[in-house]
């Protein structure tokens, strides 16, 4: 019995010594590294119209004519049987807001009709174009929002006035589509 009573405490003491040695030994091959985790969120795009496309007052003569608003500089001109007669004139103006330095794509239709308030008579608005500063991009532009996430755009085009066009107010709407690239 003595032997058995002596072996068990020695066995427990030996196992404890091995356990202490293994748990306190330095990891010979352990290495550590760190990494940054980053994400960038961008705000949703928004487009704000600050001015409508307005051709002012037009006199329609005995022959067809056109009235053109240049998207680059806002100049208005008339040809043929159309004569400018004052009134409020402006190219359409939009401000695009989004994430800083993001690339966007902007498009508009190339033409549309404007309709008399009575719903019967129309005029064609064509050669529509997007502008920025002193540039004319046509109906599509790929642009870069600046460091503030802002891009200014204008829209102009040619209004085809029919001979002896019925007098009255003509209106229409077009859609400018802006997407992140």
Q: Is 149 in contact with 43 (CB distance < 8 Å)?
A: yes
Q: Is 34 domain-assigned?
A: no
Residue 112 lies in a domain: yes
- In angstroms, the CA 141 to CA 178 distance is 10
Residue 18 covered by a domain: no
Residue 62 within any structural domain of the chain: yes
Rounded Cα distance between 112 and 2, Å, is: 109
pLDDT digits (tens, 9 = 90+) for 24-74: 555 556 666 766 676 655 568 888 999 999 999 999 999 999 999 999 999
Domain count, the chain: 1
Q: Whole-model pTM above 0.85? A: no
Residue 10 lies in a domain: no
Give me the pLDDT at residue 41, please.
58
Query: Which CATH number does the domain housing residue 99 bear?
Result: 2.60.40
Residue 128 lies in a domain: yes
């Amino acid at each position: 019995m003595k032997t058995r009573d002596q072996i068990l405490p020695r066995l427990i003491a030996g196992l404890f010594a091995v356990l202490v040695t293994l748990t306190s030994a330095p990891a010979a091959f352990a290495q550590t590294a760190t990494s940054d985790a980053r994400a960038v969120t961008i705000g949703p795009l928004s487009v704000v119209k600050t001015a409508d496309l307005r051709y002012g007052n037009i006199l329609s003569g005995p022959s067809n004519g056109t009235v053109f608003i240049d998207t680059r500089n806002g100049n208005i001109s008339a040809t043929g049987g159309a004569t400018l007669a004052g009134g409020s004139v402006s190219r359409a103006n939009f401000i695009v807001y989004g994430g800083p330095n993001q690339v966007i794509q902007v498009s508009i239709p190339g033409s549309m009709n404007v309709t008399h308030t009575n719903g019967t008579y129309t005029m064609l608005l064509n050669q529509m174009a997007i502008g920025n500063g002193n540039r004319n991009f046509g109906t599509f532009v790929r642009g870069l929002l600046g460091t503030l996430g802002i891009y200014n755009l204008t829209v102009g085009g040619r209004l085809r006035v029919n001979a002896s066009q019925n007098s009255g107010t003509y209106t229409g709407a077009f859609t400018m589509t802006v997407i992140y690239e």
